[in-house]
Structure 1
Amino acid sequence: MVNEKKLGIYVHVPFCLNKCLYCDFYSETDLSLFDDYISALEIEISMHSNIYSINGTCVDSIYFGGGTPSLLGGARISSVMETLQRYFRISPESEITIEANPGALKKADLKIFLDSGINRINFGVQSFNDSNLRILGRIHSSKQAKEALEISRIAGFGNIGLDIIFGIPGQTPNDLKNDLYQASEFRPEHISCYSLTYEEGTPFFASMSKGIISPLSDDDVAQMFIDAGETLAQLGYKRYEISNFGRVKEKNNHYYSRHNMKYWSHDPYLGFGPAAHSFDGKRRWWNQRGLKSWISDLASGRLAISGEEILSKEELMTETIFLALRTISGLDLKLFKDKFDSDIEKAIKPLIDFYESDGFAFIDSGRLILSEKGMLAADAITKGILNAVDPID
């Protein structure tokens, strides 16, 4: 049941001024549909509130992702927040995030965002190198990124995150370190550092396939992964997931994205907007990808769900292992055994011994945790564990 845990809400805002060359997230550049989108979104929120009772569910995380949510402007975002507050019980301690593009941010909107209840802003900076920004197809410059970070802090945001991409064609290790050093100058509470991926269907993938651009070697990308971890640690950031780092507050306490933690912890969340996904602990469902068809269905009083799946025990086990090993908390072996009636520690004991001896992983307080070296081979390690666990009833 969803009400057994605090609920997260994701709102997909599918609008961008320009589609980045590497991005495969669903978005549209037709901004004339803003108001139709808002109307449909409010209908969808109200329809789901009938299923997830306001008295039985407490929302502790809201995330406006995209696309470029900040394009909607302060008034529209405030309207959506009012709708969410009307239909759901939102904890006073909620983390409420909005994603923003540094090249499409209005200073006047920042105060409206804050007044509406948003308390965290995340910027898709990607790089402070203008040449690399052009390669990625970003619409902002390094100067605009710095200005956006500055005015957000001045406006009153006490929780700022930014994204950095590495593995860009032609990028050097020094380029990446310079990006991280420049990011740290603004003391953001959170930094996500992602390896560039070439997703099928994107212009980047097409250019790679035609030999127009050449990806960096796996060794170069792996070294950048290591460099990023070491550099950010020196700058006061702690890795808590493969690609995510939180600035240390005090002792062992540090900033992290509550929204993302819900995904990695298999906690329930509701997704609103076209292409958004939802998960209640066993069932996953997803909305139609097309904006106009999503709007049309909701205007007709129908939820715009295009598919769903009920996860089997084996699928839940697989996802639990895969997601847990992405984090520094690792996989709680006893909790896994209690939940799935599967003695995973016994099943993978030879693997654990091998991973420990080679420095890929270690056991701490009953948890299997990957080292930074192990995180580089996370997919292979996870596959090995799954193969070993598979025969267990």
Structure 2
Amino acid sequence: MSSLYLHIPFCSSKCPYCDFFSQVGTQRQLDRYVELLKRNIEIVSQGLAQPASLNTIFFGGGTPSLLSAPQFEDILNLIDRSFKIQSTAEITVEANPGTLNLSKLKGFRHAGVNRLSLGIQSLNDRSLRLLGRIHSASLARESIVAARTAGFDNINLDLMFALPEQNMASLEVDISALLEFEPEHVSLYGLSFEEGTEYSARQQSGQLKPCGEELYADQYMFLHHHLLKEGYEHYEISNFAKANRRCNHNQVYWQRKNCLAIGAGAHGFLDQEWGTRWHIPADMCLYEKLLLQGNDPVEILERYDHSGAMKEYVYLALRTSNGVNLQEFHGRFRVDFHQVFAEAIHKMKRYLRSSNDHCCLDIEGWLIYDHLISHFL
């Protein structure tokens, strides 16, 4: 087992576009949840056939930075005792401006956190208000500076694009302002209107109009070229990194490797036979009930057969600039990629780039990834 994900489903407020499992909670609820996480860690570690050694740990949410530095230290010490954290492990915490200060960030570093992912989303106050964020642009800037001062030398900054009423000029100002801080990693997300969110309801009522497809494509391509020019590698559909600064944890997902998961709403994967995906239900009451009974709260989502495993491998690999490793594909599945998916490859050959050992999508293919990947599924 190489990686561990921990879900912290609490936020200061619920963003109107967010469909992740999260809720606004009290400090008492958050403290109680930390105790449940620790119980979850103990139960999972006791159930492993052999001790795990962790290369990556990722605290996602929600807003994990609502936890205190001592709570992170407590959790990480327990993880080390239960699984063993490798000395070179990447330990990431997602954080939001408005929940941070210099003292807290120094505490995170002292606890062992060595990678910070900041949900900046925009450095334009009007856009931040539209997105329902709790922070201002100036507070976002202060948080980045504080993170550097605290000793973080591996920082990801999230930026959203395709916002209502956003034009190319305002987007250029936003990305230029973001890059002034020289982040090691940038994640870009086009705004989507997910079912069940406030934004979806506002779209259906005519209060909000999504960005048009042509403008979306123009903005995505602009960001791609701009970040390449600034020395970033576009290594996954939504992710850019400076040299040797890819997110190791996320690559575990895209490479279909083992990942344990802790916390209500968390998802994990076990790479045995053709693979098993499982989750912990996004139900706080059930989560607490099962843990207090001494039970592992996981539920199996899917056990893959040979065909399903091949399809998911391709689905994930084509999200990345590495694409499908042809030798690895043959080693895993004992079949030839080009023979198994000959029809799909023919249909989308315009967007595929092949060599002797890899097959990947070009940037135009990434733009219509959801449509193209259906040929493989």
TM range (shorter): over 0.9
Q: Determine if contact 2:94/2:118 at 8 Å carries over to the other structure.
A: yes
Q: Whole-Å Cα distance in 2 between the matches of residues 354 and 294 of structure 1? A: 45
Q: 168, 171, 178: which one pairs with 2:166?
A: 171
Instruction: Kindly provide the amino acid, as one letter, of the partner of residue 149 in structure 1.
Output: I
SS at match of 1:93: strand
Match of 1:234 in 2: 229
Match of 1:147 in 2: 142
Deviation at 1:380, TM superposition (A): 2.6
> 1:182-220 CA deviation, whole Å, 9 max, x = no partner?
111111100001111111110011111111100011111
Match of 2:363 in 1: 372
Q: Whole-Å Cα distance in 1 between the matches of residues 224 and 79 of structure 2? A: 37
**What pairs up with 1:180-191 in 2 under 5 angstroms?**
180-191=175-186
Q: Whole-Å Cα distance in 1 between the matches of residues 257 and 242 of structure 2? A: 24
Q: Determine if contact 2:322/2:360 at 8 Å carries over to the other structure.
A: yes
**What pairs up with 1:110-125 in 2 under 5 angstroms?**
110-125=105-120
Q: Determine if contact 2:311/2:376 at 8 Å carries over to the other structure.
A: no
Q: Determine if contact 2:162/2:191 at 8 Å carries over to the other structure.
A: yes
Deviation at 1:52, TM superposition (A): 2.6
Match of 2:296 in 1: 303
Q: 37, 44, 54: which one pairs with 1:41?
A: 37
> 1:88-137 CA deviation, whole Å, 9 max, x = no partner?
11111100000110111132111111111110011000011111111111
SS at match of 2:223: helix
Deviation at 1:300, TM superposition (A): 2.0
Match of 1:251 in 2: none
Instruction: Kindly provide the amino acid, as one letter, of the partner of residue 277 in structure 2.
Output: R
Q: Determine if contact 2:102/2:149 at 8 Å carries over to the other structure.
A: no
> 1:224-267 CA deviation, whole Å, 9 max, x = no partner?
1101101111111110000000023xxxxx31111111110001
Q: Does residue 18 of the first structure (1) align with residue 13 of the second (2)? A: yes
> 1:267-315 CA deviation, whole Å, 9 max, x = no partner?
1101111010111021111112122321222122122224432122222
Give the unaligned 5+ runs of structure 2: none
Aligned Cα root-mean-square deviation (Å): 1.6
> 1:346-377 CA deviation, whole Å, 9 max, x = no partner?
34457646655x3x121124211111111112
Match of 1:383 in 2: 374
Q: Whole-Å Cα distance in 2 between the matches of residues 304 and 348 of structure 1? A: 37
Q: Whole-Å Cα distance in 2 between the matches of residues 301 and 384 of structure 1? A: 44
Q: Whole-Å Cα distance in 2 between the matches of residues 344 and 97 of structure 1? A: 34
Q: Does residue 336 of the first structure (1) align with residue 336 of the second (2)? A: no
Q: 273, 296, 301: which one pairs with 2:263?
A: 273
SS at match of 1:326: coil
Question: Could you say if the C-alpha distance between residues 294 and 354 of structure 1 is closer, same or farther in structure 2, counting changes exceeding 3 Å?
Answer: closer
Q: Whole-Å Cα distance in 2 between the matches of residues 362 and 307 of structure 1? A: 36
Deviation at 1:66, TM superposition (A): 0.5
Q: 69, 73, 78: which one pairs with 2:73?
A: 78
Deviation at 1:381, TM superposition (A): 2.4
Give the unaligned 5+ runs of structure 1: 249-253, 387-393
Match of 2:282 in 1: 289
Instruction: Kindly provide the amino acid, as one letter, of the partner of residue 123 in structure 1.
Output: L
| TM-score for both structures, normalised by structure 1 | 0.91
Q: 239, 244, 247: which one pairs with 1:257?
A: 247
Q: 192, 196, 218: which one pairs with 1:201?
A: 196
Match of 1:158 in 2: 153
Q: Determine if contact 2:70/2:111 at 8 Å carries over to the other structure.
A: no
Match of 1:137 in 2: 132
Q: Whole-Å Cα distance in 2 between the matches of residues 304 and 322 of structure 1? A: 28
Q: Whole-Å Cα distance in 2 between the matches of residues 18 and 350 of structure 1? A: 47
| TM-score for both structures, normalised by structure 2 | 0.95
SS at match of 1:144: helix
Q: Determine if contact 2:101/2:146 at 8 Å carries over to the other structure.
A: no
Q: Whole-Å Cα distance in 1 between the matches of residues 374 and 368 of structure 2? A: 10
Q: Determine if contact 1:352/1:362 at 8 Å carries over to the other structure.
A: no
Q: 84, 87, 91: which one pairs with 2:86?
A: 91
Instruction: Kindly provide the amino acid, as one letter, of the partner of residue 369 in structure 1.
Output: C
Q: Determine if contact 1:54/1:88 at 8 Å carries over to the other structure.
A: no
Match of 1:391 in 2: none
Match of 2:353 in 1: 362
SS at match of 2:252: helix
Deviation at 1:344, TM superposition (A): 2.3
SS at match of 1:50: helix
Instruction: Kindly provide the amino acid, as one letter, of the partner of residue 291 in structure 1.
Output: M
Q: Whole-Å Cα distance in 2 between the matches of residues 8 and 346 of structure 1? A: 33
Q: Whole-Å Cα distance in 2 between the matches of residues 240 and 91 of structure 1? A: 25
Q: Whole-Å Cα distance in 2 between the matches of residues 180 and 52 of structure 1? A: 44
Identity among equivalent pairs (%): 35
Count of aligned pairs: 373
Match of 1:62 in 2: 57
> 1:27-54 CA deviation, whole Å, 9 max, x = no partner?
1211221221111111110111122356
Q: Whole-Å Cα distance in 2 between the matches of residues 74 and 228 of structure 1? A: 35
Residue range with higher mean Cα deviation, 177-186 or 149-158: 177-186
Match of 1:390 in 2: none
